[in-house]
């Protein structure tokens, strides 16, 4: 969920009809065990990254929409657009694929795209990002470090102040891990129920980092963002 374009003036009320998400602790997978998160396969090159991102029909199907289109594509980890965070260490818990979180991790390349319905009054929003590393071990080190950060940031209020525009403050809920996907909900304070679910995992040498936002989604949002992460993982070569 990137800073410049994510926050609509008004969201249309909606509910995602997706099952709840229980909390379990993921173990260490065996190489080539499956196509899901945390499984091992061939390392992806930079040229292959865009190919594992979901397309328009897949995004709309998971989000329960028929009108979402791509509004932005990016080929580098987005910077902070000249803005500042009240707690930079927690920026990566609130926002996906943010440079503040990936800085110093020795990542190789990034591909991502943002999706919503047309106009300022959209109902759903998704930012899907994939970030490659030199090895699967490096990707898992980043995942583990991110999980630690998310846990330390629970209940913290993180304010992002853009260079031009109004600041926004987000509160981070406790993350849970299921099926190799760690996910949390971040609530926009004074946002009228606007929440984003943030999911992250690693597969091969890539970190999959996704945000999905809507109105009063709570646990359904966690299940939805996990579905996006799992669908991306399923597109990796074997």
Per-block average pLDDT, block size 10, for the chain (238 residues)? 47 40 34 68 96 97 93 89 89 94 96 93 92 98 98 96 89 95 91 88 98 78 92 94
Determine the pLDDT at residue 179: 93
Rounded Cα–Cα distance for residues 238 and 236 (Å): 7
Residue 107 falls inside a structural domain: yes
Residue 27 falls inside a structural domain: no
Determine the pLDDT at residue 87: 95
Residue whose token pair is 């646990």: 219
Q: Which two tokens stand for residue 191?
A: 């946002």
CATH code of the domain containing 211: 3.40.1000.70
β-sheet bridge partners, residue 203: 206
- Contact assessment for residue 29 and residue 231, using Cβ atoms and an 8 Å cutoff: no
Give the pairing type, strands 125-132 and 157-161.
Answer: unpaired
Determine the pLDDT at residue 78: 81
Determine the pLDDT at residue 44: 98
Residue 1 falls inside a structural domain: no
Residue 25 falls inside a structural domain: no
- Contact assessment for residue 161 and residue 19, using Cβ atoms and an 8 Å cutoff: no
CA gyration radius for the chain? 16
Instruction: Report residue 40 CA to chain centroid gap.
Output: 21
Residue 199's contacts (CB-CB under 8 Å, 6 or more residues apart) are 181, 182, 183, 208, 209, 210, 211, 212, 222, 225, 226, 228, 229
Determine the pLDDT at residue 2: 52
Residue 178 falls inside a structural domain: yes
- Contact assessment for residue 131 and residue 44, using Cβ atoms and an 8 Å cutoff: no
Determine the pLDDT at residue 216: 65
Buried b (16+ CB within 10 A) or exposed e, 8-21: beebeebebebeeb
Residue 218 falls inside a structural domain: yes
Q: Which two tokens stand for residue 103?
A: 């800085």
Range of the domain at 72: 47-235
β-sheet bridge partners, residue 161: 84
- Contact assessment for residue 202 and residue 220, using Cβ atoms and an 8 Å cutoff: no
- Contact assessment for residue 233 and residue 37, using Cβ atoms and an 8 Å cutoff: yes
Residue 42 falls inside a structural domain: no
Residue 33 falls inside a structural domain: no
Rounded Cα–Cα distance for residues 167 and 224 (Å): 27
Give the pairing type, strands 176-178 and 125-132.
Answer: unpaired
Q: Which two tokens stand for residue 136?
A: 């699967």
Determine the pLDDT at residue 5: 42
The structural domain count of the chain equals 1
Q: Which two tokens stand for residue 133?
A: 């590393």
Determine the pLDDT at residue 51: 98
């Amino acid at each position: 969920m990137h800073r410049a374009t994510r926050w609509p003036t008004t969201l249309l009320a909606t509910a995602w009809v997706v099952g709840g998400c229980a909390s379990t602790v993921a173990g260490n997978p065996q190489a080539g065990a499956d196509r899901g998160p945390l499984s091992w396969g061939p390392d992806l090159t930079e040229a292959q990254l865009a190919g594992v991102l979901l397309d328009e029909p897949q995004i709309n199907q998971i989000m329960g929409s028929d009108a979402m289109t791509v509004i932005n594509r990016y080929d580098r980890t987005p910077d902070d657009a000249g803005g500042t965070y009240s707690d930079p260490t927690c920026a990566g818990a609130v926002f996906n694929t943010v440079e503040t979180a990936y800085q110093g991790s020795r990542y190789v390349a990034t591909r991502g795209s943002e999706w919503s319905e047309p106009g300022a009054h959209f109902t759903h929003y998704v930012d899907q990002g994939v970030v490659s590393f030199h090895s699967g071990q490096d990707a898992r080190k980043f995942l583990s470090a991110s999980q630690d950060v998310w846990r330390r940031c629970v209940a913290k209020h993180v304010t992002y102040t853009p260079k031009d525009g109004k600041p926004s403050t987000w509160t981070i809920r406790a993350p849970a891990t299921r099926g190799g996907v760690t996910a949390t909900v971040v609530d926009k304070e004074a946002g009228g129920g606007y929440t984003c679910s943030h999911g992250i995992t690693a597969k091969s040498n890539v970190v999959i980092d996704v945000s999905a936002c809507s109105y009063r989604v709570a646990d359904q949002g966690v299940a939805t963002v996990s579905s996006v992460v799992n669908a991306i993982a399923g597109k990796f070569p074997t």
